[in-house]
Amino acid sequence: MRSVVKAIHSIRLLIGEAQDSQYWWLTTTGVYSVKSGYWLGLLGHNPNDNFDEATCKLWTNIWKIPAPPKLGNFVWRASKGSLATRQVLYDCYCVPSPICDRCHAEPETIFHAVCECPNVAAMWNTSSSTPIPRDATRSSLFSLLQWMMGYASNEEVLSLCTTLWAAWFFRNKDVFSDEQYDPIQLAANLQRI
């Protein structure tokens, strides 16, 4: 406790009067604009988010994917981390455990639910869609999509996004309904899309 007090007392304070100022973090000038307010509302960012050029470029690329809007919406929500996986629900105190309901082995993050869970592995293995490259970043869906947008063709990105959506669809049917879906049949159906 004394070391904390000592550390606080060692902080050098500004001598003299300093003026506070208002600064809007979404513009380079620090001045609010309606356009920047619109983007804040549209993207739902807060000052702690990464609002850098790479992030903006990813959002732009996601919305340019030549696919139905529901696919773009899914990919955007998944890359922002706003899909209701067990981990997200656990972080919001909605469920008692973040462990995946299907494999019971790992926390169900978005990346786990659509890429790593053994229940979707059969779909990835039999799908004709673009596989996730071995050297791709696998820390999150956001970083995977950023990597893919930088290194893959538009067709490969579309194929990957379609398979991610199918994996999420399969996961939801498996978790929320009594219907059982065969991941290999689901992968075969993807070939027709």
Residues 160 and 101 in one domain: yes
Q: How far apart are CA 122 and CA 28, in angstroms?
A: 48
Q: How far apart are CA 134 and CA 172, in angstroms?
A: 27
pTM (2 d.p.): 0.68
Its sign, for the CA torsion 25, 28, 31, 32, is negative
- Number of domains observed in the structure of the chain: 2
Residues 57 and 144 in one domain: yes
Residues forming a β-bridge with 107 = 99
* Residues spanned by the domain of 98: 52-190
Residues 133 and 149 in one domain: yes
Q: Which residue has the tokens 């973090």?
A: 25
Residues 5 and 60 in one domain: no
pLDDT of amino acid 46:
54
Among 61-65, 124-128, 140-144, 188-192, which stretch is predicted with the lowest mean pLDDT?
188-192
Q: How far apart are CA 138 and CA 92, in angstroms?
A: 24
Residues 185 and 125 in one domain: yes
Q: What count of residues does the chain have?
A: 193
pLDDT of amino acid 166:
86
Residues 182 and 94 in one domain: yes
Residues 12 and 94 in one domain: no
Q: How far apart are CA 53 and CA 116, in angstroms?
A: 29
pLDDT of amino acid 169:
87
Residues 62 and 151 in one domain: yes
**Is residue 50 pLDDT above 60, yes or no?**
no
**Is residue 2 pLDDT above 60, yes or no?**
yes
pLDDT of amino acid 192:
56
**What does the DSSP assignment read for 71-133?**
HHHHHHHHHHT-S--HHHHHHTTSSS--B-TTTSSSB--HHIIIIISHHHHHHHHH--SPPPP
Q: What's the whole-number average pLDDT of the chain?
A: 80
pLDDT of amino acid 98:
95
Q: How far apart are CA 101 and CA 87, in angstroms?
A: 11
pLDDT of amino acid 83:
92
Average pLDDT estimate for 49-65 = 76
Residues 29 and 71 in one domain: no
pLDDT of amino acid 123:
78
Which residues, in sequence order, are CB contacts of 149 under 8 Å at separation 6+?
57, 58, 61, 157
Residues 28 and 74 in one domain: no
Q: Give the 3-state secondary structure of residue 21.
A: coil
pLDDT digits (tens, 9 = 90+) for 82-109: 899 999 999 989 999 999 998 999 999 9
Measured in whole angstroms, how far is the alpha carbon of residue 42 from the centre of its chain? 16
Residues 67 and 109 in one domain: yes
**Is residue 49 pLDDT above 60, yes or no?**
no
Residues 81 and 158 in one domain: yes
pLDDT digits (tens, 9 = 90+) for 110-142: 999 998 888 888 777 776 666 676 666 677 888
Which letter, b or e, does each residue of 119-129 get, where b requires 16 or more Cβ atoms within 10 Å of its Cβ? Answer: bbeebbeebeb
What is the helix (H) or strand (E) element at residue 167, kind and residue range?
Answer: helix 154-176
Specify whether the CB–CB gap between 34 and 26 falls below 8 A.
no
Average pLDDT estimate for 150-170 = 85
